[in-house]
Structures are given as C-alpha cells and as structure tokens.
Amino acid sequence: MKNSIRSSARPALLAIGVLGFSILPGALGVAQDGAPPPRPRPPVPPAGVTAAHYFKNIKVLQKLPANQLIPAMQRISASLGVRCDFCHAMGPNGPNFISDEKPAKNVARQMVLMTNSINAHQKILDNKATCYMCHHGHPQPETQVPPRPEGPGGRPPAPPTP
C-alpha cells in the first residue's frame, strides 16, 4: 500500500515542480514591471585619484582619495542618523550631489573642517574625533548640561546606580 501512494504522488509532485519553475519567472517579471528600474551604480574611482579631481563641487575633502569619499559620506550619514537627502538636494533621479541648494550641506562642510581641526590640534584624541562623538546618531549634536550642585559649597548629586 505504501508503494502505491508514493508512485501515484510522484507525477503530481513533478507537475507542481515543473509548473512552479515555469510560472515563477513570469510572476517575478510582473512584480518588477510596477517597480522603477534600478539606478545604475556609478563607476568605482581609480586608485590614486583625489576626490577633487573625480567628483564635482568638492570643497572640503579635496585631498581625500576619490575611492574613499563615498565610504566617508556613509560614515557621516550614519553618525547623524540621516540619509543623503538631509544635506543634498533631491533631483528627478535622486540626490543632486553637485547642488549647494540646501543649507545643511554648508553646515556639514563647516563641521568637517571643525572635526579636522580638532584632530589636528588636540593630539590627546589621536585623530579619533568624529561626527558621532557629538551627534550619537542624531541630526543635531547632543548638548547636555551637567547637573547643578545642591547649593553653595554643596556636593553634587550622587551618580545614578545601575
């Protein structure tokens, strides 16, 4: 009895498998027809070329190797918890990286200069100052004022216990 069930189920399973593989590509094609076509990825910059020579409108990170600019922008984006369009204007095909339309782009340039200056002049940091140091994944830097002491000559509050 076991063999008769197995032998009769085989053609049905085979038919399901064949139909599944022939229908699946068509279904995927229908699903993709409604989606916009993927944007082509920009070519990878050649080694040894600076960002200023490869990209347009680079004002602060000019000496950075071109192949390190996008990873640097991704680190800045992650440090602020924002996407590219936070600083870059949007065009019909996505971010317009050349435009200086958004004020946030110039603020970001000033912040990069500030961070570079901190790293250049504060040797104790050992070039470890980053956007994340103040932003902690938020668009605005986190500025906190320490708690005030209890009174004149008083002791500061006890630290919180875990």
**pLDDT, tens digit, for every residue of 105-118?**
999 999 999 999 99
What DSSP assignment string belongs to 88-135?
Answer: SEEETTEEETT---SHHHHHHHHHHHHHHHHHHH-GGGTT---THHHH
Mean per-residue pLDDT over the chain, rounded:
81
Q: What is the pLDDT of residue 114?
A: 96
- Specify whether the CB–CB gap between 146 and 138 falls below 8 A: no
Given a cut of 60, is residue 162 above it in pLDDT? yes
What separation in angstroms does the CA of 155 have from each of 90, 91, 144, 146, 148? 53, 56, 20, 13, 9
Cβ-contact 134, 142 below 8 angstroms:
yes
Mean pLDDT value of segment 22-37: 57
Domain range summary for the chain, segments of one domain joined by +: 51-135
pLDDT (0 to 100) of residue 81: 95
Is 80 exceeded by the pLDDT of residue 3?
Answer: no
Q: What is the mean pLDDT of residues 7-16?
A: 60
Q: What is the pLDDT of residues 115-155, one digit of tens each?
A: 999 999 998 888 899 999 999 999 998 877 776 666 656 66
The pLDDT score that the predictor gives to residue 27 is 52
User: pTM here?
Assistant: 0.63
Please report the pLDDT score of residue 44 as a whole number.
75
**pLDDT value of residue 102:** 96
- As a whole number, mean pLDDT of residues 25-29 equals 56
Q: Which residues pair with 65 in a beta bridge?
A: 50
**Residue 90 pLDDT exceeds 90:** yes
pLDDT of residue 20: 55
Which residue's entry shows tokens 């064949």?
18
Check residues 55 and 155 and name the one with the higher pLDDT: 55
